[in-house]
Amino acid sequence: MALGQAIAAGGHRLIYGGGRVGLMGVVAETVIANEGDVTGVMTEQLVALEVAHDGLGTLDIQPDMHSRKARMAELADGVVALPGGFGTLDEAFEILTWNQLGLVSMPVVFLDVDGYFESLFEFMENAVAAGFMHDHHGSMAQRTTDPIEAVRLATATAPGYQPKWVN
Q: Of 57, 76, 95, which one is at a domain's C-terminal end?
A: 76
What is the tens place of the pLDDT at every residue in 150-160? 999 999 998 88
Do 89 and 71 lie in a common domain? no
* Residue 69 resides in a domain: yes
- The per-residue pLDDT for 130 is 95
Do 84 and 71 lie in a common domain? no
Confidence class for position 141, pLDDT limits 50, 70, 90: very high
Domain that holds residue 117: 78-155
Do 10 and 59 lie in a common domain? yes
Beta bridge partners of 66: none
The CATH number of whichever domain residue 108 belongs to comes to: 3.40.50.450
User: What is the spatial distance between Cα 113 and Cα 74, in angstroms, rounded to a whole number?
Assistant: 27
Mean pLDDT value of segment 50-64? 93
Do 90 and 145 lie in a common domain? yes
- The per-residue pLDDT for 167 is 57
Radius of gyration of the chain (CA): 16
Residue 142 has pLDDT above 70, yes or no: yes
Do 1 and 68 lie in a common domain? yes
Do 63 and 3 lie in a common domain? yes
- The per-residue pLDDT for 73 is 96
Q: What is the pTM of this model?
A: 0.93
What is the tens place of the pLDDT at every residue in 1-21? 699 999 999 999 999 999 999
- The per-residue pLDDT for 51 is 86
The sign of the dihedral angle between the CA atoms of 93, 67, 104, 150 is negative
Secondary structure of the chain: what % helix, strand, coil (to 5)?
A: 45, 15, 35
Do 66 and 96 lie in a common domain? no
- The per-residue pLDDT for 162 is 82
Share of the chain above pLDDT 90, in %: 86
Mean pLDDT value of segment 60-79? 96
Do 63 and 124 lie in a common domain? no
